[in-house]
Amino acid sequence: MSSPDPGTETELSLSVKLEALLFVAAEPVTTAQLATALDVAPSVVERGLNELDASLATRGLRLQRHAGRVQLTTAPQLAELIERFLGLEATTHLSRAALETLAIIA
């Protein structure tokens, strides 16, 4: 019997799995949806989300929670950089959420 190959799903931490699921999610998702996908209890997902949130604090992404749903967004302090990168003029009035969505799509 051989051991799993390095890098297989079974060796990845919960926060890494959550980050991947949130990255590919087309829209904000509930803790219950994440729990179902990972086959764990919602309380386990909450612990993983808290761990992910802490690890993102020094990076360019943030975990945003609203109305019982969660999603990955860009860090607010990077809005101007993202606007420039996407070629958006300063006169373009997009909401922060719209800019974050554009950044995720790009």
Which amino acid is residue 81, in one-letter code? L
Angle between helices 42-56 and 14-24 (to 10 degrees): 80
- Domains of the chain are 12-74 (1.10.10.10), 75-106 (no CATH)
14 CB neighbour count, 10 Å cutoff: 17
Q: What is the mean pLDDT of the chain?
A: 87
User: What tokens does 76 get?
Assistant: 């607010």
pTM of structure: 0.71
pLDDT grade for 2, boundaries at 50, 70 and 90: very low
pLDDT digits (tens, 9 = 90+) for 18-40: 999 999 999 999 999 999 999 99
pLDDT grade for 99, boundaries at 50, 70 and 90: confident
